[in-house]
Amino acid sequence: MRRVFLLAAVLAVVLAGCKIETNVNATIGADGRGTVASEIGLDDEAMQFFTQSGEDPFADAPEGATTRTEERDGMTYYIVEQAFDGADELIRLMTEENDSPFETFSASFSASEVSISGTTGDTGGGLVDPGEFEGFDPGLIEDSFSAAVIITMPGAVTSTNADSQDGSTLTWEVPLLGGSLEIEAQSDPSRSAGGGGGFPAWLIVVIAVLVVAAIGFFVLNRRKPAAAPAAAAPAPADPGVPADAGVPADAGVPADAGVPADAAAAGPAVADADAPAEDADDEGEAPAGGDVPPPPPPPAG
């Protein structure tokens, strides 16, 4: 696909305003297996010119590789992808295949660390030939053409010099008009993916326990019967108001017509001192107002 790439690069310069992108993508699994893919993306203008040329973008695809076309972000991508199993096969695909920009590449896999590093040659390891662009404005080339190495590491990335990072996917921009690119990255396959490492498992357990406890507390409180409200205490008596004020005694019972209320309260009647005593007709009748005389003494024997 290198020949197609070079043709596309020339088109990007000849047709001002065209956008052409080429990437080398590698995805590494925690088990040491993965894929390496080379892709070229063309916008509508470049795609129109390219199809008119009659070139087959997959004419020199390696034996056993899979090919496909994708539409992404308004561009058409021609993709050649190969699988690998282990570090040795990854190194071979990144250095020996003619679509790779790397002159050197190394990789090592273990249960706790995956490490990769590599170096391209000048001008992106031969991705472009400076002679193809003689007489063209370098700024126009950079605006129309881009190249990148994109590697997805297994687990959490622990160290890298990538130009950008999205989780465990790392991107390096390839210099096209001079200078080489050096890449390096390490990751821990046993940890969850993310730019700053995995979320601690112990913290997940603590949060889960607290959530369960809170739910249980809430459910138990909803099932508990509500306590009866306490009886209201009687209001304190007002010291300035008599207890029976405004409520007459025996208000609901009529007074005895024959016995005045005052007489019943006063006790035995007392004769009026100013009234004349009635004549006692009988001897045994005690004079009014006086004490009853004692009985006569018995006759002497």
Cα gap 100→177, rounded to integer Å: 17
Cα gap 57→66, rounded to integer Å: 13
Per-residue confidence (pLDDT) for residue 31, from 0 to 100? 94
Q: Do 113 and 188 meet the contact criterion of CB atoms below 8 Å apart? A: yes
| Predicted confidence (pLDDT) at residue 9 exceeds the cutoff of 70 | no
Confidence of residue 1 (pLDDT cuts 50, 70, 90): low
Instruction: Give me the percent of the chain exceeding a pLDDT of 90.
Output: 33
On average, the pLDDT of the chain sits at 74
Per-residue confidence (pLDDT) for residue 289, from 0 to 100? 46
DSSP-derived 3-state class of residue 77: strand
* Position with higher pLDDT, 221 vs 298: 221
Confidence of residue 121 (pLDDT cuts 50, 70, 90): confident
Q: What is the mean pLDDT of residues 81-94?
A: 95
Per-residue confidence (pLDDT) for residue 249, from 0 to 100? 45
Confidence of residue 2 (pLDDT cuts 50, 70, 90): low
| Predicted confidence (pLDDT) at residue 246 exceeds the cutoff of 70 | no
Element (H, E) at 35: strand 33-42
Which among 92, 63, 96 has a CA at the least distance from the CA of 80?
63
Confidence of residue 288 (pLDDT cuts 50, 70, 90): very low
| Predicted confidence (pLDDT) at residue 110 exceeds the cutoff of 50 | yes
Per-residue confidence (pLDDT) for residue 213, from 0 to 100? 81
Confidence of residue 210 (pLDDT cuts 50, 70, 90): confident
Q: What is the pLDDT of residues 124-179, one digit of tens each?
A: 555 555 566 666 666 777 778 888 999 999 999 999 999 999 999 999 998 877 77
Highest mean pLDDT among 1-10, 156-165, 228-237: 156-165
Locate the domains of the chain by residue range.
2-188
Structure tokens at 55: 């070139």
| Predicted confidence (pLDDT) at residue 112 exceeds the cutoff of 50 | yes
Confidence of residue 257 (pLDDT cuts 50, 70, 90): very low
| Predicted confidence (pLDDT) at residue 217 exceeds the cutoff of 80 | no
Q: What is the pLDDT of residues 23-81, one digit of tens each?
A: 999 999 999 999 999 998 999 888 887 787 777 888 888 888 999 999 998 999 999 99
**How many other CB atoms sit within 10 Å of the CB of residue 130?**
12
Lowest mean pLDDT among 9-13, 98-102, 259-263: 259-263
| Predicted confidence (pLDDT) at residue 198 exceeds the cutoff of 50 | no
CB-count exposure of residue 252 (10 Å: 0-12, 13-18, 19+): exposed
